[in-house]
Amino acid sequence: MPALSWIVLTTLAGVVVSLPPSEDRSAWAAAAEQVGVTLGDGDADVRVRAEGGRWAVTVQPSDGPARGFTAAPPRTEAEREDLLATALSLLNPMPTPALPPVALPPPAPSPPARPTVAAPRPAPMGPFGGPVVLEPPVPPIAAASPATRIPRVPPLHAPPWRPSASLAAAASLRPGASTGFAPALQVGLQRSRLRLEVGAWRQGAVSLQDLSADRGVLGWGAGAGVGRVGPGWTASGVLGVEARQWTEGEAVVARTRTPVARGAVGWSFAVAGPVQLGPRAWVAVDLGRTQVFVDDVLVTALTPLSAGLGLDLTLAPPEKVIVSAR
């Protein structure tokens, strides 16, 4: 139970405290009498209001700005007395006594003056003579015995080239054309992170928006390139040629060959043993321009950019590291 001295009680006599409307004043009567305040409304010196789950206490001194604090709603007699006593301490805080000045120690006496002494003069040195004693020569380090020789670390040889193959089923997209089916097959040799590969692909028959529905184009392509293999991902670039057939109904009306550059990136996840499965995306760019004429009239030009997204099945044996001792 907080204790207030008779000086504080005399100074704070006549302090009015307003409580939240939901509080029973009879439950606060004992605490108010113990602390020495009066419960009331209107122009109160201490205002207590409920804000959410806590109480906000605002104190308005007569000679200064308002002060305040928040606290949990009191449930016991002791908690009520603590809240009122804290509010009164903010209303008229006790003055802090001034500390006495710190006495400085007396200054230390200055050391006595030292007499001036002349610098010593070096004694004259006589002529050098007599034999010079040399240090004995350091004996050579004995050759290390076979038991103390450090064994040679065998070199690590680069892993051998290992074959790999992948089969992809993808949907191809080209601006101004319908979606087609574009499977691809790639075989190659892989060592460490480098992969050399050759591939073949088929561009399924698609129709062009500027031509009639019975006219379309399909193609086959082949190329070679290099790739980069990482942990769980692959990236490659291929240069090749795509042979295309232009059809009208069941008849082939024209054949073209176009150089292309293809780039692909894929992610793979181990399925079982050397088998890996994952998504694969590619982008192809025609390195030549293709225009379509009907009765010697230019109808449209084939967009050089195409892309695809599909599923890639890869077969690649695990890498082996060979250590040889000499």
Q: Are residues 85 and 169 in the same domain?
A: no
**Residue 122 is assigned to a structural domain of this protein:** no
- What H or E segment, with its residue span, contains residue 6? helix 6-11
The pLDDT of residue 12 is 45
3-state secondary structure 208-253: ECCCCCCEEEEEEEEEEEEEEEECCEEEEEEEEEEEEEEEECCEEE
Is 5 in a helix, a strand, or coil?
coil
Number of domains in the chain: 2
The pLDDT of residue 240 is 92
The pLDDT of residue 8 is 42
The reported pTM is 0.45
The pLDDT of residue 1 is 43
Rounded CA separation 73/79 (Å): 9
**Residue 195 is assigned to a structural domain of this protein:** yes
Short-list 68, 79, 8, CA closest to 37: 8
The pLDDT of residue 17 is 87
Q: Are residues 190 and 83 in the same domain?
A: no
- Averaged confidence pLDDT in the chain: 78
Q: Are residues 71 and 186 in the same domain?
A: no
**Residue 171 is assigned to a structural domain of this protein:** yes
Q: Strands of the chain (E only): list them.
A: 16-18, 38-39, 46-51, 54-59, 67-71, 156-157, 162-173, 180-191, 194-207, 215-230, 233-248, 251-267, 269-272, 275-286, 291-294, 297-301, 305-315, 322-323
Tokens of 205: 């028959």
Q: Are residues 192 and 45 in the same domain?
A: no
Q: Are residues 209 and 292 in the same domain?
A: yes
The pLDDT of residue 299 is 66
**Residue 151 is assigned to a structural domain of this protein:** no
Last-in-domain residue among 60, 91, 122: 91
The pLDDT of residue 2 is 45
Q: Are residues 78 and 169 in the same domain?
A: no
**Side chain identity at residue 302, one-letter code:** L
pLDDT < 50: residue spans in the chain:
1-12, 323, 325-326
Last-in-domain residue among 32, 61, 91: 91
The pLDDT of residue 193 is 81
**Residue 207 is assigned to a structural domain of this protein:** yes
What CATH number should be reported for the domain holding residue 21?
A: 3.40.50
Q: Are residues 29 and 177 in the same domain?
A: no
Last-in-domain residue among 91, 119, 134: 91
Q: Are residues 307 and 166 in the same domain?
A: yes
**Residue 85 is assigned to a structural domain of this protein:** yes
Range of the domain at 225: 162-318
**Residue 106 is assigned to a structural domain of this protein:** no
197 neighbors 226 (Cβ within 8 angstroms) = yes
What CATH number should be reported for the domain holding residue 298?
A: 2.40.160.20
**Residue 116 is assigned to a structural domain of this protein:** no
DSSP state of 260: E
pLDDT in tens, 221-239: 999 999 888 788 889 899 9
